[in-house]
Structure 1
Protein backbone atom coordinates (compact mmCIF):
# COMPACT_ATOMS: atom_id res chain seq x y z
CA UNK A 1 0.00 0.00 0.00
CA UNK A 2 1.82 3.10 -1.21
CA UNK A 3 2.14 6.30 0.77
CA UNK A 4 3.08 9.81 -0.23
CA UNK A 5 6.36 11.43 0.75
CA UNK A 6 7.06 14.88 2.19
CA UNK A 7 4.34 17.50 2.06
CA UNK A 8 4.06 21.23 1.45
CA UNK A 9 2.58 22.76 4.65
CA UNK A 10 1.24 25.88 2.93
CA UNK A 11 -0.39 23.98 0.06
CA UNK A 12 -1.91 21.42 2.42
CA UNK A 13 -3.27 24.13 4.67
CA UNK A 14 -4.99 25.76 1.68
CA UNK A 15 -6.46 22.39 0.69
CA UNK A 16 -7.79 21.99 4.22
CA UNK A 17 -9.38 25.43 4.08
CA UNK A 18 -11.00 24.53 0.75
CA UNK A 19 -12.29 21.23 2.16
CA UNK A 20 -13.73 23.02 5.18
CA UNK A 21 -15.37 25.64 2.97
CA UNK A 22 -16.98 22.84 0.96
CA UNK A 23 -18.26 20.84 3.94
CA UNK A 24 -20.09 23.71 5.66
CA UNK A 25 -22.94 23.98 3.11
CA UNK A 26 -23.25 20.19 3.21
CA UNK A 27 -23.76 20.42 6.97
CA UNK A 28 -26.32 23.19 6.59
CA UNK A 29 -28.33 21.14 4.08
CA UNK A 30 -28.09 18.10 6.35
CA UNK A 31 -29.39 19.95 9.40
CA UNK A 32 -32.25 21.44 7.40
CA UNK A 33 -33.19 17.93 6.25
CA UNK A 34 -33.32 16.40 9.73
CA UNK A 35 -36.91 15.30 10.41
CA UNK A 36 -36.52 14.97 14.19
CA UNK A 37 -33.83 16.85 16.14
CA UNK A 38 -34.69 14.83 19.25
CA UNK A 39 -33.81 11.52 17.60
CA UNK A 40 -30.79 9.60 18.96
CA UNK A 41 -27.57 10.41 17.08
CA UNK A 42 -24.42 8.45 16.36
CA UNK A 43 -23.03 9.71 19.70
CA UNK A 44 -24.21 8.01 22.88
CA UNK A 45 -26.48 10.16 25.09
CA UNK A 46 -26.64 12.97 22.47
CA UNK A 47 -29.61 13.64 20.23
CA UNK A 48 -29.20 14.83 16.66
CA UNK A 49 -29.91 18.35 17.90
CA UNK A 50 -27.29 18.00 20.64
CA UNK A 51 -24.65 17.14 18.06
CA UNK A 52 -25.62 20.20 16.02
CA UNK A 53 -25.38 22.34 19.17
CA UNK A 54 -21.93 20.94 19.93
CA UNK A 55 -20.82 21.81 16.40
CA UNK A 56 -22.08 25.37 16.78
CA UNK A 57 -20.12 25.72 20.02
CA UNK A 58 -16.96 24.40 18.33
CA UNK A 59 -17.32 26.88 15.48
CA UNK A 60 -17.92 29.69 17.99
CA UNK A 61 -14.85 28.72 20.02
CA UNK A 62 -12.44 28.67 17.09
CA UNK A 63 -13.90 31.85 15.60
CA UNK A 64 -13.57 33.62 18.95
CA UNK A 65 -9.82 33.08 18.92
CA UNK A 66 -9.83 35.76 16.19
CA UNK A 67 -13.08 37.71 16.67
CA UNK A 68 -13.29 37.74 20.52
CA UNK A 69 -17.01 37.01 20.18
CA UNK A 70 -16.76 34.79 23.25
CA UNK A 71 -14.09 35.21 25.93
CA UNK A 72 -15.64 34.22 29.26
CA UNK A 73 -13.96 30.83 29.50
CA UNK A 74 -13.90 30.97 33.31
CA UNK A 75 -17.67 30.54 33.22
CA UNK A 76 -17.39 27.41 31.06
CA UNK A 77 -14.26 25.57 32.15
CA UNK A 78 -13.72 23.75 35.44
CA UNK A 79 -11.40 25.53 37.89
CA UNK A 80 -7.66 24.99 37.59
CA UNK A 81 -5.94 23.22 34.74
CA UNK A 82 -7.21 19.68 35.25
CA UNK A 83 -7.19 16.65 32.95
CA UNK A 84 -8.14 17.20 29.32
CA UNK A 85 -11.16 14.89 29.45
CA UNK A 86 -12.65 16.88 32.34
CA UNK A 87 -12.23 20.13 30.46
CA UNK A 88 -13.78 18.79 27.26
CA UNK A 89 -16.68 17.19 29.17
CA UNK A 90 -17.42 20.51 30.88
CA UNK A 91 -17.30 22.44 27.62
CA UNK A 92 -19.56 19.93 25.85
CA UNK A 93 -22.15 20.07 28.63
CA UNK A 94 -22.27 23.87 28.54
CA UNK A 95 -22.32 23.92 24.73
CA UNK A 96 -25.44 21.81 24.46
CA UNK A 97 -27.24 24.12 26.87
CA UNK A 98 -25.97 27.24 25.12
CA UNK A 99 -27.71 26.24 21.91
CA UNK A 100 -30.95 25.02 23.43
CA UNK A 101 -34.60 24.77 22.42
CA UNK A 102 -35.27 28.11 20.74
CA UNK A 103 -31.95 28.05 18.88
CA UNK A 104 -32.23 24.50 17.53
CA UNK A 105 -34.13 25.39 14.31
CA UNK A 106 -31.32 27.81 13.37
CA UNK A 107 -28.22 25.66 13.95
CA UNK A 108 -27.50 25.46 10.23
CA UNK A 109 -27.61 29.22 9.82
CA UNK A 110 -25.21 29.64 12.76
CA UNK A 111 -22.76 27.16 11.24
CA UNK A 112 -22.94 28.83 7.84
CA UNK A 113 -22.23 32.28 9.30
CA UNK A 114 -19.44 31.19 11.63
CA UNK A 115 -17.80 28.89 9.11
CA UNK A 116 -17.51 31.88 6.79
CA UNK A 117 -16.33 34.08 9.65
CA UNK A 118 -13.52 31.66 10.50
CA UNK A 119 -12.35 31.47 6.90
CA UNK A 120 -12.52 35.23 6.44
CA UNK A 121 -10.70 35.97 9.72
CA UNK A 122 -7.88 33.55 8.89
CA UNK A 123 -7.53 34.40 5.19
CA UNK A 124 -3.87 34.85 4.27
CA UNK A 125 -2.50 33.87 7.68
CA UNK A 126 0.43 31.46 7.84
CA UNK A 127 -0.26 27.83 8.82
CA UNK A 128 1.85 28.25 11.97
CA UNK A 129 -0.15 31.25 13.23
CA UNK A 130 -0.88 30.63 16.95
CA UNK A 131 -4.50 29.98 17.95
CA UNK A 132 -5.39 30.10 21.69
CA UNK A 133 -7.49 27.06 22.66
CA UNK A 134 -8.20 27.34 26.42
CA UNK A 135 -10.56 24.36 26.36
CA UNK A 136 -7.48 22.16 25.88
CA UNK A 137 -5.58 23.91 28.69
CA UNK A 138 -5.39 27.39 30.23
CA UNK A 139 -2.32 28.26 28.19
CA UNK A 140 -2.93 25.86 25.29
CA UNK A 141 -2.10 27.16 21.82
CA UNK A 142 -2.42 25.30 18.53
CA UNK A 143 -1.26 26.31 15.09
CA UNK A 144 -3.81 27.57 12.59
CA UNK A 145 -3.11 24.49 10.45
CA UNK A 146 -4.07 22.21 13.33
CA UNK A 147 -7.12 24.30 14.24
CA UNK A 148 -8.37 24.25 10.65
CA UNK A 149 -7.82 20.50 10.50
CA UNK A 150 -9.87 20.14 13.68
CA UNK A 151 -12.67 22.30 12.28
CA UNK A 152 -12.77 20.01 9.25
CA UNK A 153 -12.65 16.93 11.49
CA UNK A 154 -15.50 18.15 13.72
CA UNK A 155 -17.62 18.93 10.66
CA UNK A 156 -17.07 15.61 8.89
CA UNK A 157 -17.42 13.31 11.89
CA UNK A 158 -20.32 15.05 13.56
CA UNK A 159 -21.99 15.36 10.20
CA UNK A 160 -21.79 11.57 10.11
CA UNK A 161 -23.25 11.37 13.63
CA UNK A 162 -26.20 13.55 12.62
CA UNK A 163 -26.75 11.63 9.39
CA UNK A 164 -26.71 8.28 11.16
CA UNK A 165 -29.29 9.46 13.66
CA UNK A 166 -31.48 11.01 10.99
CA UNK A 167 -30.95 8.09 8.58
CA UNK A 168 -29.67 10.43 5.89
CA UNK A 169 -26.67 10.00 3.55
CA UNK A 170 -23.26 11.44 4.46
CA UNK A 171 -19.85 10.74 2.96
CA UNK A 172 -16.28 11.34 4.11
CA UNK A 173 -13.97 11.18 1.12
CA UNK A 174 -10.40 9.88 1.24
CA UNK A 175 -8.90 13.28 0.43
CA UNK A 176 -10.85 14.88 3.30
CA UNK A 177 -9.73 12.13 5.66
CA UNK A 178 -6.07 12.55 4.62
CA UNK A 179 -6.24 16.26 5.42
CA UNK A 180 -7.68 15.63 8.88
CA UNK A 181 -5.07 12.98 9.64
CA UNK A 182 -2.16 15.06 8.40
CA UNK A 183 -3.21 18.42 9.80
CA UNK A 184 -4.58 17.55 13.23
CA UNK A 185 -3.43 14.14 14.41
CA UNK A 186 0.32 14.83 14.84
CA UNK A 187 -0.61 17.47 17.42
CA UNK A 188 -3.70 15.92 18.97
CA UNK A 189 -2.62 12.29 19.42
CA UNK A 190 -0.02 13.14 22.10
CA UNK A 191 -2.56 15.37 23.88
CA UNK A 192 -5.11 12.55 24.24
CA UNK A 193 -2.65 9.85 25.25
CA UNK A 194 -3.89 7.80 28.22
CA UNK A 195 -0.81 8.45 30.34
CA UNK A 196 -1.75 5.91 33.00
CA UNK A 197 -2.02 3.10 30.45
CA UNK A 198 1.15 4.30 28.73
CA UNK A 199 3.33 4.10 31.86
CA UNK A 200 6.15 1.63 31.25
CA UNK A 201 5.14 1.17 27.58
CA UNK A 202 7.76 1.42 24.84
CA UNK A 203 6.31 0.90 21.35
CA UNK A 204 7.06 2.52 17.99
CA UNK A 205 4.27 2.42 15.38
CA UNK A 206 4.72 3.18 11.69
CA UNK A 207 1.33 4.46 10.52
CA UNK A 208 1.14 4.41 6.72
CA UNK A 209 -2.04 5.91 5.26
CA UNK A 210 -2.73 5.12 1.61
CA UNK A 211 -1.82 8.20 -0.42
CA UNK A 212 -0.30 9.82 2.69
CA UNK A 213 0.36 11.00 5.28
CA UNK A 214 2.86 8.75 7.07
CA UNK A 215 3.21 9.13 10.82
CA UNK A 216 5.74 7.75 13.29
CA UNK A 217 3.90 7.26 16.59
CA UNK A 218 6.27 6.55 19.47
CA UNK A 219 4.98 5.71 22.96
CA UNK A 220 7.72 6.01 25.58
CA UNK A 221 6.87 5.49 29.26
CA UNK A 222 3.85 7.75 29.57
CA UNK A 223 4.58 10.14 26.71
CA UNK A 224 3.86 10.11 22.98
CA UNK A 225 5.49 11.81 20.03
CA UNK A 226 4.03 11.85 16.53
CA UNK A 227 6.32 12.78 13.65
CA UNK A 228 5.26 13.23 10.07
CA UNK A 229 7.58 11.91 7.34
CA UNK A 230 10.07 10.75 9.97
CA UNK A 231 13.55 9.56 8.98
CA UNK A 232 14.04 5.78 8.71
CA UNK A 233 14.09 3.87 11.99
CA UNK A 234 13.11 0.49 13.43
CA UNK A 235 9.44 0.06 14.28
CA UNK A 236 7.69 -2.56 16.35
CA UNK A 237 4.48 -2.48 14.33
CA UNK A 238 3.46 -1.10 10.94
CA UNK A 239 -0.20 -0.24 10.39
CA UNK A 240 -1.36 0.39 6.82
CA UNK A 241 -4.85 1.73 6.21
CA UNK A 242 -7.06 3.57 3.78
CA UNK A 243 -7.57 7.16 4.98
CA UNK A 244 -11.31 7.12 5.67
CA UNK A 245 -11.14 3.76 7.43
CA UNK A 246 -8.33 4.94 9.70
CA UNK A 247 -10.18 8.16 10.51
CA UNK A 248 -13.38 6.33 11.44
CA UNK A 249 -11.55 3.76 13.56
CA UNK A 250 -9.51 6.47 15.30
CA UNK A 251 -12.66 8.34 16.29
CA UNK A 252 -14.54 5.19 17.29
CA UNK A 253 -17.09 5.53 14.49
CA UNK A 254 -16.31 2.12 13.00
CA UNK A 255 -15.11 -1.02 14.82
CA UNK A 256 -11.62 -2.07 13.79
CA UNK A 257 -12.70 -5.60 12.88
CA UNK A 258 -14.89 -4.25 10.05
CA UNK A 259 -11.99 -2.43 8.44
CA UNK A 260 -9.82 -5.54 8.70
CA UNK A 261 -12.49 -7.79 7.16
CA UNK A 262 -12.94 -5.28 4.32
CA UNK A 263 -9.20 -5.18 3.66
CA UNK A 264 -8.98 -1.50 4.61
CA UNK A 265 -6.46 -1.95 7.44
CA UNK A 266 -3.71 -4.42 8.22
CA UNK A 267 -0.77 -4.81 10.59
CA UNK A 268 2.76 -6.02 9.87
CA UNK A 269 6.29 -5.60 11.18
CA UNK A 270 8.16 -7.36 13.98
CA UNK A 271 5.18 -7.36 16.36
CA UNK A 272 1.95 -6.95 14.37
CA UNK A 273 -0.13 -8.10 17.34
CA UNK A 274 0.59 -4.75 19.02
CA UNK A 275 -1.60 -2.86 16.53
CA UNK A 276 -4.80 -2.87 18.69
CA UNK A 277 -2.87 -1.24 21.55
CA UNK A 278 -2.61 2.01 19.61
CA UNK A 279 -6.34 2.70 19.91
CA UNK A 280 -6.31 1.69 23.59
CA UNK A 281 -3.41 4.01 24.42
CA UNK A 282 -4.61 7.02 22.42
CA UNK A 283 -8.22 8.15 22.82
CA UNK A 284 -10.25 9.78 20.06
CA UNK A 285 -8.19 12.84 19.04
Structure 2
Protein backbone atom coordinates (compact mmCIF):
# COMPACT_ATOMS: atom_id res chain seq x y z
CA UNK A 1 0.00 0.00 0.00
CA UNK A 2 2.97 2.34 0.09
CA UNK A 3 3.47 2.88 -3.64
CA UNK A 4 2.80 6.31 -5.13
CA UNK A 5 2.35 7.60 -8.65
CA UNK A 6 4.11 10.45 -10.45
CA UNK A 7 2.27 13.76 -10.31
CA UNK A 8 1.71 15.95 -13.37
CA UNK A 9 -0.71 18.79 -12.46
CA UNK A 10 -1.97 19.28 -16.02
CA UNK A 11 -2.58 15.58 -16.64
CA UNK A 12 -4.23 15.10 -13.25
CA UNK A 13 -6.50 18.09 -13.77
CA UNK A 14 -7.67 16.63 -17.08
CA UNK A 15 -8.24 13.26 -15.40
CA UNK A 16 -10.30 15.00 -12.73
CA UNK A 17 -12.38 16.76 -15.38
CA UNK A 18 -12.94 13.40 -17.09
CA UNK A 19 -13.98 11.79 -13.79
CA UNK A 20 -16.42 14.64 -13.15
CA UNK A 21 -17.82 14.26 -16.66
CA UNK A 22 -18.45 10.57 -15.89
CA UNK A 23 -19.99 11.22 -12.48
CA UNK A 24 -22.42 13.95 -13.56
CA UNK A 25 -24.75 11.66 -15.59
CA UNK A 26 -24.63 9.08 -12.79
CA UNK A 27 -25.67 11.76 -10.31
CA UNK A 28 -28.40 12.97 -12.65
CA UNK A 29 -29.84 9.46 -12.95
CA UNK A 30 -29.69 9.04 -9.18
CA UNK A 31 -31.59 12.28 -8.59
CA UNK A 32 -34.25 11.23 -11.10
CA UNK A 33 -34.65 7.76 -9.59
CA UNK A 34 -35.12 8.82 -5.95
CA UNK A 35 -38.43 7.24 -4.88
CA UNK A 36 -39.05 9.49 -1.86
CA UNK A 37 -37.39 12.90 -1.52
CA UNK A 38 -38.64 13.15 2.08
CA UNK A 39 -36.76 10.03 3.20
CA UNK A 40 -33.87 10.38 5.66
CA UNK A 41 -30.49 10.65 3.95
CA UNK A 42 -26.93 9.81 4.86
CA UNK A 43 -26.71 13.29 6.45
CA UNK A 44 -28.60 13.03 9.78
CA UNK A 45 -30.29 16.46 9.67
CA UNK A 46 -31.19 16.41 5.96
CA UNK A 47 -33.71 14.52 3.88
CA UNK A 48 -32.76 13.04 0.51
CA UNK A 49 -34.40 16.07 -1.08
CA UNK A 50 -32.33 18.41 1.10
CA UNK A 51 -29.11 16.75 -0.01
CA UNK A 52 -30.19 16.95 -3.64
CA UNK A 53 -30.96 20.65 -3.21
CA UNK A 54 -27.55 21.17 -1.60
CA UNK A 55 -25.79 19.48 -4.52
CA UNK A 56 -27.75 21.57 -7.01
CA UNK A 57 -26.78 24.71 -5.08
CA UNK A 58 -23.12 23.63 -5.18
CA UNK A 59 -23.32 23.31 -8.96
CA UNK A 60 -24.99 26.73 -9.15
CA UNK A 61 -22.35 28.32 -6.92
CA UNK A 62 -19.33 26.77 -8.61
CA UNK A 63 -20.57 27.74 -12.06
CA UNK A 64 -21.10 31.28 -10.76
CA UNK A 65 -17.54 31.36 -9.42
CA UNK A 66 -15.93 29.88 -12.52
CA UNK A 67 -17.71 32.26 -14.89
CA UNK A 68 -18.04 35.25 -12.55
CA UNK A 69 -21.61 35.57 -13.83
CA UNK A 70 -23.01 37.21 -10.66
CA UNK A 71 -25.72 34.55 -10.38
CA UNK A 72 -25.36 34.57 -6.60
CA UNK A 73 -25.41 37.62 -4.31
CA UNK A 74 -22.78 36.43 -1.84
CA UNK A 75 -23.30 39.37 0.52
CA UNK A 76 -26.83 38.11 1.16
CA UNK A 77 -25.66 34.54 1.80
CA UNK A 78 -22.59 34.83 4.01
CA UNK A 79 -22.71 35.93 7.67
CA UNK A 80 -21.90 39.59 8.32
CA UNK A 81 -18.40 40.42 9.50
CA UNK A 82 -16.79 37.41 7.86
CA UNK A 83 -17.14 34.77 10.58
CA UNK A 84 -15.16 31.56 10.94
CA UNK A 85 -14.92 28.99 8.15
CA UNK A 86 -17.44 26.80 9.96
CA UNK A 87 -19.89 29.69 10.33
CA UNK A 88 -19.55 30.66 6.69
CA UNK A 89 -20.05 27.11 5.41
CA UNK A 90 -23.00 26.57 7.78
CA UNK A 91 -24.62 29.75 6.49
CA UNK A 92 -24.04 28.59 2.91
CA UNK A 93 -25.55 25.19 3.60
CA UNK A 94 -28.62 26.65 5.32
CA UNK A 95 -29.24 28.96 2.36
CA UNK A 96 -28.51 26.25 -0.19
CA UNK A 97 -31.23 23.81 0.79
CA UNK A 98 -33.80 26.61 0.77
CA UNK A 99 -33.08 27.66 -2.82
CA UNK A 100 -35.15 24.85 -4.30
CA UNK A 101 -38.82 24.32 -3.39
CA UNK A 102 -40.83 21.15 -3.96
CA UNK A 103 -41.49 21.92 -7.60
CA UNK A 104 -37.83 22.67 -8.32
CA UNK A 105 -36.69 19.59 -6.38
CA UNK A 106 -38.64 17.41 -8.77
CA UNK A 107 -36.32 18.64 -11.55
CA UNK A 108 -32.98 18.67 -9.75
CA UNK A 109 -31.55 16.12 -12.18
CA UNK A 110 -32.14 18.47 -15.11
CA UNK A 111 -30.58 21.38 -13.21
CA UNK A 112 -27.46 19.42 -12.25
CA UNK A 113 -27.07 18.13 -15.81
CA UNK A 114 -27.26 21.64 -17.27
CA UNK A 115 -24.94 23.25 -14.71
CA UNK A 116 -22.44 20.39 -14.72
CA UNK A 117 -22.13 20.48 -18.49
CA UNK A 118 -21.84 24.29 -18.39
CA UNK A 119 -19.00 24.12 -15.84
CA UNK A 120 -16.99 21.64 -17.89
CA UNK A 121 -17.64 23.47 -21.14
CA UNK A 122 -16.90 26.91 -19.71
CA UNK A 123 -13.62 25.89 -18.02
CA UNK A 124 -12.27 23.77 -20.88
CA UNK A 125 -8.74 24.72 -21.83
CA UNK A 126 -8.03 26.78 -18.71
CA UNK A 127 -4.83 26.06 -16.80
CA UNK A 128 -5.26 24.10 -13.56
CA UNK A 129 -3.64 26.91 -11.56
CA UNK A 130 -6.14 29.53 -12.79
CA UNK A 131 -7.24 31.45 -9.65
CA UNK A 132 -10.93 31.50 -8.70
CA UNK A 133 -12.21 33.70 -5.85
CA UNK A 134 -14.32 31.68 -3.37
CA UNK A 135 -16.17 34.02 -0.97
CA UNK A 136 -17.06 31.47 1.70
CA UNK A 137 -13.41 30.46 2.03
CA UNK A 138 -12.33 34.10 1.94
CA UNK A 139 -9.55 33.42 -0.58
CA UNK A 140 -8.74 32.28 -4.10
CA UNK A 141 -8.60 28.60 -4.96
CA UNK A 142 -7.16 27.19 -8.15
CA UNK A 143 -9.43 25.80 -10.84
CA UNK A 144 -7.89 22.37 -10.15
CA UNK A 145 -9.02 22.52 -6.52
CA UNK A 146 -12.47 23.79 -7.52
CA UNK A 147 -12.89 20.94 -10.01
CA UNK A 148 -11.76 18.45 -7.38
CA UNK A 149 -14.29 19.89 -4.93
CA UNK A 150 -17.09 19.49 -7.47
CA UNK A 151 -16.06 15.87 -7.89
CA UNK A 152 -15.93 15.29 -4.12
CA UNK A 153 -19.33 16.95 -3.54
CA UNK A 154 -20.84 14.81 -6.29
CA UNK A 155 -19.35 11.56 -4.98
CA UNK A 156 -19.95 12.05 -1.26
CA UNK A 157 -23.42 13.59 -1.49
CA UNK A 158 -24.34 11.07 -4.16
CA UNK A 159 -23.60 8.45 -1.51
CA UNK A 160 -25.76 10.34 1.01
CA UNK A 161 -28.68 10.35 -1.43
CA UNK A 162 -28.18 6.71 -2.39
CA UNK A 163 -28.07 5.57 1.23
CA UNK A 164 -31.37 7.30 1.93
CA UNK A 165 -32.99 6.12 -1.29
CA UNK A 166 -31.74 2.53 -1.02
CA UNK A 167 -29.95 2.79 -4.37
CA UNK A 168 -26.41 1.74 -5.35
CA UNK A 169 -23.64 4.35 -5.51
CA UNK A 170 -20.16 2.91 -6.00
CA UNK A 171 -17.12 5.16 -5.64
CA UNK A 172 -14.09 4.00 -7.60
CA UNK A 173 -10.62 4.15 -6.02
CA UNK A 174 -9.35 6.30 -8.89
CA UNK A 175 -12.13 8.84 -8.29
CA UNK A 176 -11.20 9.04 -4.62
CA UNK A 177 -7.48 9.38 -5.45
CA UNK A 178 -8.22 12.34 -7.70
CA UNK A 179 -10.29 14.06 -5.00
CA UNK A 180 -7.59 13.52 -2.39
CA UNK A 181 -4.76 14.68 -4.63
CA UNK A 182 -6.55 17.73 -6.01
CA UNK A 183 -8.22 19.02 -2.86
CA UNK A 184 -6.48 17.80 0.29
CA UNK A 185 -3.30 19.93 0.15
CA UNK A 186 -5.46 23.06 0.14
CA UNK A 187 -8.55 22.04 2.10
CA UNK A 188 -6.75 20.42 5.03
CA UNK A 189 -4.93 23.68 5.76
CA UNK A 190 -8.16 25.68 5.50
CA UNK A 191 -10.00 23.29 7.82
CA UNK A 192 -7.35 23.18 10.53
CA UNK A 193 -8.75 23.99 13.96
CA UNK A 194 -6.06 26.51 14.90
CA UNK A 195 -7.16 26.64 18.54
CA UNK A 196 -6.75 22.89 19.00
CA UNK A 197 -3.53 22.93 17.01
CA UNK A 198 -1.90 25.59 19.19
CA UNK A 199 1.22 24.12 20.75
CA UNK A 200 1.05 20.97 18.59
CA UNK A 201 4.08 19.84 16.59
CA UNK A 202 3.48 16.96 14.19
CA UNK A 203 5.01 15.73 10.92
CA UNK A 204 2.96 13.02 9.21
CA UNK A 205 3.65 11.13 6.00
CA UNK A 206 0.22 10.50 4.41
CA UNK A 207 0.43 7.79 1.75
CA UNK A 208 -2.60 7.02 -0.42
CA UNK A 209 -2.48 3.59 -2.06
CA UNK A 210 -1.39 4.02 -5.70
CA UNK A 211 -2.00 7.74 -5.33
CA UNK A 212 -0.72 10.98 -3.82
CA UNK A 213 1.80 11.21 -1.01
CA UNK A 214 1.36 14.21 1.25
CA UNK A 215 3.69 15.67 3.85
CA UNK A 216 1.41 17.06 6.58
CA UNK A 217 3.28 19.31 8.99
CA UNK A 218 1.65 21.11 11.94
CA UNK A 219 3.65 23.60 13.95
CA UNK A 220 1.98 25.58 16.74
CA UNK A 221 -1.35 26.32 15.07
CA UNK A 222 -0.15 26.39 11.47
CA UNK A 223 -0.27 23.62 8.88
CA UNK A 224 1.43 22.96 5.57
CA UNK A 225 0.48 20.09 3.26
CA UNK A 226 2.99 19.40 0.49
CA UNK A 227 2.62 16.92 -2.31
CA UNK A 228 5.71 14.95 -3.37
CA UNK A 229 7.77 16.62 -0.65
CA UNK A 230 11.54 16.09 -0.42
CA UNK A 231 12.62 13.36 2.04
CA UNK A 232 12.47 14.34 5.70
CA UNK A 233 11.99 12.80 9.13
CA UNK A 234 8.38 12.10 10.14
CA UNK A 235 6.76 11.31 13.46
CA UNK A 236 4.48 8.76 11.80
CA UNK A 237 3.25 7.40 8.50
CA UNK A 238 -0.43 6.89 7.71
CA UNK A 239 -1.06 4.52 4.80
CA UNK A 240 -4.62 4.56 3.50
CA UNK A 241 -6.92 3.08 0.87
CA UNK A 242 -8.35 5.98 -1.14
CA UNK A 243 -12.10 5.38 -0.87
CA UNK A 244 -11.98 4.57 2.83
CA UNK A 245 -9.89 7.63 3.61
CA UNK A 246 -12.21 9.84 1.58
CA UNK A 247 -15.24 8.60 3.52
CA UNK A 248 -13.46 8.81 6.89
CA UNK A 249 -12.38 12.37 6.06
CA UNK A 250 -15.99 13.35 5.37
CA UNK A 251 -17.25 11.48 8.46
CA UNK A 252 -19.22 9.02 6.31
CA UNK A 253 -17.37 5.97 7.65
CA UNK A 254 -16.10 5.60 11.25
CA UNK A 255 -12.34 5.43 11.47
CA UNK A 256 -12.45 2.23 13.56
CA UNK A 257 -14.13 0.40 10.67
CA UNK A 258 -11.45 1.47 8.18
CA UNK A 259 -8.72 0.42 10.63
CA UNK A 260 -10.40 -2.92 11.36
CA UNK A 261 -10.57 -3.67 7.64
CA UNK A 262 -6.89 -2.87 7.19
CA UNK A 263 -7.72 0.18 5.06
CA UNK A 264 -5.83 2.59 7.29
CA UNK A 265 -2.53 1.70 8.95
CA UNK A 266 -0.26 3.83 11.09
CA UNK A 267 3.48 3.24 11.34
CA UNK A 268 6.72 5.04 12.00
CA UNK A 269 8.44 5.94 15.25
CA UNK A 270 5.35 7.49 16.89
CA UNK A 271 2.36 5.85 15.14
CA UNK A 272 -0.13 6.84 17.84
CA UNK A 273 0.12 10.47 16.69
CA UNK A 274 -1.77 9.63 13.48
CA UNK A 275 -5.07 9.88 15.35
CA UNK A 276 -4.35 13.55 16.07
CA UNK A 277 -4.92 14.43 12.43
CA UNK A 278 -8.66 13.80 12.57
CA UNK A 279 -8.93 15.63 15.87
CA UNK A 280 -7.33 18.77 14.48
CA UNK A 281 -9.30 19.04 11.23
CA UNK A 282 -12.64 20.80 11.57
CA UNK A 283 -15.72 19.41 9.81
CA UNK A 284 -17.93 22.41 8.91
Does the pair score TM above 0.5?
A: yes
Match status 1:142 vs 2:151: no
Partner of 1:130: 131
3-state SS of paired residue (1:204): strand
Q: Tell me how far apart the structure 1 counterparts of residues 19 and 5 of structure 2 sit (CA, whole Å).
A: 21
Q: CA deviation at 1:132?
A: 1.3
Q: Tell me how far apart the structure 2 counterparts of residues 73 and 2 of structure 1 sit (CA, whole Å).
A: 43
Partner of 1:251: 250
TM-score, length-scaled by structure 1: 0.97
3-state SS of paired residue (2:124): coil
Q: Tell me how far apart the structure 1 counterparts of residues 283 and 217 of structure 2 sit (CA, whole Å).
A: 17
3-state SS of paired residue (2:136): helix
Partner of 2:236: 237
Would the aligned equivalents of 1:5 and 1:229 in 2 still touch at CA under 8 Å? no
Would the aligned equivalents of 2:204 and 2:238 in 1 still touch at CA under 8 Å? yes
Q: CA deviation digits over 1:49-97, x for unaligned, max 9?
A: 1001111111111101215151411111111221000000001111111
Partner of 1:120: 121
Q: Tell me how far apart the structure 2 counterparts of residues 5 and 12 of structure 1 sit (CA, whole Å).
A: 11
3-state SS of paired residue (2:223): strand
Q: Tell me how far apart the structure 2 counterparts of residues 101 and 5 of structure 1 sit (CA, whole Å).
A: 46
Q: Tell me how far apart the structure 2 counterparts of residues 198 and 149 of structure 1 sit (CA, whole Å).
A: 26
Partner of 2:161: 162
Would the aligned equivalents of 2:237 and 2:271 in 1 still touch at CA under 8 Å? yes
> Which 5+ residue runs of structure 2 have no aligned equivalent?
none
Partner of 1:19: 19
Q: CA deviation at 1:260?
A: 1.1
**Map of 1:31-110 to 2, 5 A cutoff?**
31-65=31-65, 66-110=67-111
Q: Tell me how far apart the structure 1 counterparts of residues 229 and 166 of structure 2 sit (CA, whole Å).
A: 41
Q: CA deviation at 1:2?
A: 2.9
Q: CA deviation at 1:284?
A: 4.0
Match status 1:262 vs 2:261: yes
Runs of 4+ in structure 1 over 3 Å off = none
TM-score, length-scaled by structure 2: 0.97
3-state SS of paired residue (2:251): coil
Residues paired across the two proteins, number? 283
> Which 5+ residue runs of structure 1 have no aligned equivalent?
none
Would the aligned equivalents of 2:236 and 2:267 in 1 still touch at CA under 8 Å? yes
Q: Tell me how far apart the structure 1 counterparts of residues 189 and 2 of structure 2 sit (CA, whole Å).
A: 25
